[in-house]
Structure 1
Amino acid sequence: MRKQKPQAFWLFFPAASLLAAIAVPLSVWAVWSGTGWPAGLLGAGHGHELIFGFALALVAGYTLGPQPVSVLYPLLGLWLAARLSWILIPETLLAQLLGPAFALLLAWHVVPRFNAAKKWRNRMVGPLILLICLLTLVFWLSTALYSPLAAWLPGPLPLMHSAIAGLLLLMTFMGGRLIAPAVAGTLEKKGIPLEARVQPRIEGLLILILGCSIFLMAFPAANPITGSLFVLASGLLAIRTLRWKLWLCPERPDLLVLALGYSWLAIGAFVTGLALIQGTRPAAALHLITIGALGTLSASVMLRLAWQRSHRTPPPAGEVFSIAALIAIATISRFIAGPSPFGAPMLLWLSASCWALAYLWVTVRLLHLAKYSKKRRK
C-alpha cells in the first residue's frame, strides 16, 4: 500500500498560530521590560515576523497541499530556523538570509501550481505570492549596510506597508473564492438562488486597484493617490460582501465569521485610505487589516480546514465566535491606542493578550484535531 503524503497544513498551521501567539506579547515585553529582549521583536520587528513569518506560513499551509516528507520537513525546518534567528539574533547575516531563503524556496514550490489557470484573475495568485515572497528579499536588501542597492530602495517601513497591501489583495481574492461557493451551496439547499457569487467584475477591479496600491504604498509621496485607491477598494469590498447575503446563513457560524473577516478588509482599507489621504501615520489603521482581517480570516480558515478534514463538519459556533470576539477586542483596542501605542499601555496589553489567547486556542485545537485525524486514518 502506497504511503500517503502528509498535508502541509497540519504542520504549518499550528506553527504559524504558535508564532502569532508568542510574537505579539513578547514584542510588547521587549519594550516595557527595559531589557530589549528579544531584540528581533523590537519596534517594527513584530510586524516583520507577522508578515514574513506568520503570513508566509499560512500561505505554505494553504497552498502546498500534500507533499513528500523530503520537501515538507526541510521547508518547515528552514522556516523555524528563520524565525528563531530573527527573533533572537536579528543583526546577524544568518538571520537576515534565512527568511528570504525560505520565502524564495516556498515560491519555487507554490507559484507554478497556479500557472495552469486560464482566466487572468485566477493566474494572478501565483505572481502575487511571488511578489510577497520577493518583498522579503527586498526588505533585507534595504536594511543591509553592505548592499549597494540599499540607497536606491524604499525604506523597510514602506516595504512592510507594501507587503500589507499585498496581503490585503491576497485575502480579498482567496477569501472571496472561499466564501462565495460556500454561501451559494448553503443557500441552494434552502431553495434560495445566489446570483452574485464570485462577482468577476468587482473582483477584477479589486485586483487592479489593490495591485497598483502595492507598488504605490512603497513611496510615501504617492500617499494621497494610494489612499484614494484604498477607499475605492473598501467600497467594492463592502458591496461584494453585502451581495453574498450572508444574513441568510445563520446556521453556518463559520461562514458568518469569514464574512466578519472580509468586513474587516473593507473597514481596514477605508480607514487606512483616509489616513493616507490626510497625511497622518497609517500605523493604527493598518492594524485593522493585520489584526482584524488577517487574524479573523486566518483563524477561521485554519479551524475550518482542520475540522473538515478531521470530522467532516464545520467548527462549532462557540469556538469560532469566541475566537472572533477575542480578535475583535484585540483589533479595536490596538486601533484606539493610536500611532503611539506605548502611550496607552493598558490598551496595548489588552490587545496583545486577546490576540495571544485567541491563537493559543487555535494552536491547541489544531494539534488536537491533527492527533484525532491521524488516529482516524489508522
Structure 2
Amino acid sequence: GAAGTGHGHELIFGFVLALMAGYTLGPQPRRKLLGLLALWLLARLLWLMAPDFLLSQLASPAFALILAWLVVPRFNAAKKWRNRITGPLILMICLIPLAWLILTQLAPHLPLQVPIQQTELMHFGILALLLLMTFMGGRLIAPAAAGTLEKKGIPLEARVQPRIEAALIVLLLISAVLYLHPGTRPGAAIMLMFAAILLAIRCLRWQLWRCPERPDLLCLGFGYLWLAIGAAAVSWHLLQGRPPAASLHLITIGALGTLSSGIMLRLLFQRYQRTPPPAWACLLLVTLFAIAAVLRFASGAAPFGHPVQLWLSGLGWSAAYILVAVMFWRHPLTNRSPNR
C-alpha cells in the first residue's frame, strides 16, 4: 500500500494532513477530535489494506475536506495579504487528495491524456508544503529568537523580515505552479534557487547561534536551513533535467522532520514545564533527521538499488519519532507542572 506513489500518498495525505490538523485546529470539542482521528485512522488502514478500492480512495479526501472546512475560515480575518495566504495555502494542500481521486478515477476514462500524473501531483504538494513551512516556521522562529536575544541585551532588527517573506511567498508559489508542466520546470528551478538564497539569508539574520541556552530554537533553525538546502537541491536537479524525487526528501525528511518534531517538544516542555526541551534530545533529533535525509538523498532516484542506505534512512526517521513519542510518554499532557 505504501510502495511507489503510495509512499507519497501516505506522506502528504496521512502524515502531513495530521500535522496540519494538530497545528491549526486549535481547541475543539473532544467528540469532534475523536471523529476526525477515527476518520484519519480509517483512511490509513483502508489504504494499506486495499489501496485500489474506491472506499479507500474516498477516505483521505473526506478527511482533508473536513479539515479545510474547520481550519481555513480561521485565517480569513487577517488584513495583510501575507497573513491571508495561510488559508488559501492550507485549502490548496487539502484539495490535493481530491485531485488525486479525480486523476485515479476519471483520468483513465478520458479520451485525451491528462498532462498531470500522480507523481507530479505529489511533488506539487511537497512544494506547497515547502511554502507552508517557510511561512509558519518564520512566524514561529522570529519572535522567539527576538525575545531570547532581547533578554540578553541584544536587539534583533531582522525579525519577520516582511520583504523577504513576501518575496518567498511569491517565488515558492510560482515555482509550485510552474512545476506542474514539464516545459516550465526550468522556470520553477530558477524560482527555487532564488528562494533557497532568501531562505538562508533569512535564517542567518535571526542569529540563532547566539541562543545556545535555547536548544529548541537551534533545532528549529536547523529545520529552516533544511528548507533552503532542499529548495536548492530540487532546483539543481530540475536545471539538469534529472528527477527531483531524491532532493525532495531533503524537504520532507530534513525540514519537515526537524521542524515538526522540534515544535512538538518545544510546546510540550514550555506549556507543561515552562522550560525548553533538553539539549541532548534536540541534538539527537537534528542528528537523526540529518542522517536520514542525507542517506535518502544519496540513494538517488532509484533508492531500491541502495537498500542499506534506504534502510538506515528509514531507521533514522523512525528512531527520531520514537524519541518524540518517548518524551511525550514520560511527560503526559494530562500531568501539568506543579507550578501551574
Question: What TM-score, normalized by structure 2, do the two folds share?
Answer: 0.96
Code of the residue aligned with 1:332 in structure 2: it is: V
Q: Secondary structure at the match of 2:239?
A: helix
What are the Cα deviations for residues 11-58 of structure 1, in whole angstroms up to 9, with x where unaligned? xxxxxxxxxxxxxxxxxxxxxxxxxxxxx1111212211111111111
Is the contact between residue 238 and residue 266 of structure 1 (CA under 8 Å) also seen in structure 2? yes
* Equivalent position to 1:106, from 43, 64, 67: 67
- For structure 2, which runs of at least 5 residues remain unmatched after alignment? none
Alpha-carbon distance between aligned partners in 2 of 1:55 and 1:153, rounded to the nearest angstrom? 25
* Partner of residue 85, structure 2: 124
Alpha-carbon distance between aligned partners in 2 of 1:49 and 1:233, rounded to the nearest angstrom? 27
* Partner of residue 146, structure 2: 184
What are the Cα deviations for residues 352-376 of structure 1, in whole angstroms up to 9, with x where unaligned? 1111111111123224333553697
Is the contact between residue 230 and residue 273 of structure 1 (CA under 8 Å) also seen in structure 2? yes
Q: Secondary structure at the match of 1:192?
A: coil
Code of the residue aligned with 2:12 in structure 1: it is: I
Q: Secondary structure at the match of 1:370?
A: coil
Question: Is 1:56 aligned to residue 13 of structure 2?
Answer: no
Q: Secondary structure at the match of 1:197?
A: coil
Code of the residue aligned with 1:227 in structure 2: it is: A
Code of the residue aligned with 2:272 in structure 1: it is: S
| Aligned length in residues | 339
* Partner of residue 225, structure 2: 263
Alpha-carbon distance between aligned partners in 1 of 2:44 and 2:129, rounded to the nearest angstrom? 19
Offset at residue 87 of structure 1 (A): 1.5
Is the contact between residue 250 and residue 293 of structure 2 (CA under 8 Å) also seen in structure 1? yes
Code of the residue aligned with 1:272 in structure 2: it is: V
Q: Secondary structure at the match of 2:331?
A: helix
Is the contact between residue 158 and residue 220 of structure 1 (CA under 8 Å) also seen in structure 2? no
Is the contact between residue 139 and residue 156 of structure 1 (CA under 8 Å) also seen in structure 2? yes
* Partner of residue 244, structure 2: 282
What are the Cα deviations for residues 63-105 of structure 1, in whole angstroms up to 9, with x where unaligned? 1111012311111111111111111210111110000000000
Alpha-carbon distance between aligned partners in 1 of 2:233 and 2:321, rounded to the nearest angstrom? 25
Alpha-carbon distance between aligned partners in 1 of 2:60 and 2:308, rounded to the nearest angstrom? 33
Code of the residue aligned with 2:54 in structure 1: it is: L
Moved more, 142-151 or 117-126: 142-151
Equivalent residues in 2 for 1:161-176, closer than 5 Å: 161-176=123-138
* Partner of residue 196, structure 2: 234
Is the contact between residue 272 and residue 333 of structure 2 (CA under 8 Å) also seen in structure 1? no
Question: Is 1:159 aligned to residue 118 of structure 2?
Answer: no
Code of the residue aligned with 1:308 in structure 2: it is: Q
Describe the shift of the 1:66–1:164 C-alpha distance in structure 2 as closer, same or farther (beyond 3 A): same
Is the contact between residue 272 and residue 337 of structure 2 (CA under 8 Å) also seen in structure 1? no
Q: Secondary structure at the match of 1:152?
A: coil
Offset at residue 221 of structure 1 (A): 2.2
* Partner of residue 327, structure 2: 365
Offset at residue 216 of structure 1 (A): 1.6
What are the Cα deviations for residues 184-225 of structure 1, in whole angstroms up to 9, with x where unaligned? 000000111000000000000000111112212222221111
Code of the residue aligned with 1:176 in structure 2: it is: G
Alpha-carbon distance between aligned partners in 2 of 1:320 and 1:104, rounded to the nearest angstrom? 34
Q: Percent same amino acid among aligned pairs?
A: 59
* Equivalent position to 1:321, from 267, 283, 287: 283
Higher relative contact order (CA 8 A, sep 6+): 1
Describe the shift of the 1:169–1:84 C-alpha distance in structure 2 as closer, same or farther (beyond 3 A): same
Is the contact between residue 159 and residue 206 of structure 2 (CA under 8 Å) also seen in structure 1? yes
Is the contact between residue 273 and residue 336 of structure 2 (CA under 8 Å) also seen in structure 1? no
Alpha-carbon distance between aligned partners in 2 of 1:145 and 1:115, rounded to the nearest angstrom? 33
Describe the shift of the 1:157–1:146 C-alpha distance in structure 2 as closer, same or farther (beyond 3 A): closer
Code of the residue aligned with 1:353 in structure 2: it is: L
Q: Secondary structure at the match of 1:358?
A: helix
Code of the residue aligned with 1:360 in structure 2: it is: I
Is the contact between residue 268 and residue 285 of structure 1 (CA under 8 Å) also seen in structure 2? yes
Offset at residue 320 of structure 1 (A): 1.1
Describe the shift of the 1:360–1:148 C-alpha distance in structure 2 as closer, same or farther (beyond 3 A): same
Question: What TM-score, normalized by structure 1, do the two folds share?
Answer: 0.86
Is the contact between residue 142 and residue 153 of structure 1 (CA under 8 Å) also seen in structure 2? no
Is the contact between residue 310 and residue 370 of structure 1 (CA under 8 Å) also seen in structure 2? no
Cα RMSD between the aligned structures? 1.8
Alpha-carbon distance between aligned partners in 2 of 1:367 and 1:55, rounded to the nearest angstrom? 22
Equivalent residues in 2 for 1:14-29, closer than 5 Å: none
What are the Cα deviations for residues 258-308 of structure 1, in whole angstroms up to 9, with x where unaligned? 000000000000010010111011111111111100111011011111222
* Partner of residue 42, structure 1: 3
Offset at residue 377 of structure 1 (A): 11
Code of the residue aligned with 1:121 in structure 2: it is: R
Describe the shift of the 1:220–1:112 C-alpha distance in structure 2 as closer, same or farther (beyond 3 A): same
Is the contact between residue 246 and residue 296 of structure 2 (CA under 8 Å) also seen in structure 1? yes
- For structure 1, which runs of at least 5 residues remain unmatched after alignment? 1-39
